[in-house]
């Protein structure tokens, strides 16, 4: 399907709004939410962890298209340290992709929106369990490949 630039920008804006709203809903419901999106693509992914499961939602044109549930196993890494300079050192990129997270830790939400080059992000070898698991899940569940297929 082909869109004009104006129409595509409108669809991307609508998709970002749905992604943000759904992201907030999941973080309140499950105590965590993660998302990956691009400023140039009308598709995004939002996922959450619950009782040793990862639940992934594909959002396109501002609508949830599908839900995928997989066994994840141990989720102790969700309590790992969040801020780590290694995350920002190599992959920081202002225009393009955005990884967001929001997790409940000791009664407080910790969140961040990280402008990154996702290819770089998933190719790094992280010492930090938190970032390692985010990158690993983006790779394991092909979120980057699926995101790029929907350009």
Per-residue pLDDT of the chain (151 residues; tens, 9 = 90+): 555 566 878 888 898 899 999 999 999 999 999 999 988 788 999 999 998 999 999 999 899 999 999 998 888 888 876 665 556 668 888 877 899 999 988 888 989 898 988 888 888 888 888 889 999 999 999 887 655 555 4
Residue 150 lies in a domain: no
Residue tagged 């969040």 (tokens): 82
Residue 151 lies in a domain: no
Residue 149 lies in a domain: no
Total domains in the chain come to 1
Residue whose C-alpha is closest to residue 110's, from 49, 27, 29: 27
Residue 147 lies in a domain: no
Host domain of residue 67: 5-142
Instruction: Kindly provide the residue ranges of all beta strands, DSSP E only, lying in the chain, ordered along the sequence.
Output: 32-38, 43-50, 53-60, 63-71, 92-105, 108-116
């Amino acid at each position: 399907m082909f869109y004009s630039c104006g129409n595509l920008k409108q669809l991307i804006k609508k998709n970002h709004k749905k992604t943000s709203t759904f992201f907030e809903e999941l973080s309140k419901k499950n105590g965590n939410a993660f998302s990956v999106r691009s400023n140039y693509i009308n598709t995004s992914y939002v996922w959450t962890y619950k009782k040793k499961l990862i639940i992934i939602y594909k959002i396109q044109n501002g609508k949830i298209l599908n839900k995928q549930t997989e066994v994840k196993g141990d989720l102790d890494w969700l309590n790992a340290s969040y801020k780590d300079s290694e995350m920002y050192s190599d992959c920081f990129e202002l225009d393009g992709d955005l990884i967001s997270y929001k997790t409940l830790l000791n009664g407080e939400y910790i969140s961040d929106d990280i402008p990154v080059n996702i290819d770089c992000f998933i190719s790094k070898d992280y010492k930090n369990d938190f970032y390692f698991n985010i990158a690993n899940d983006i790779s394991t569940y092909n979120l980057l490949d699926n995101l790029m297929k929907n350009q």
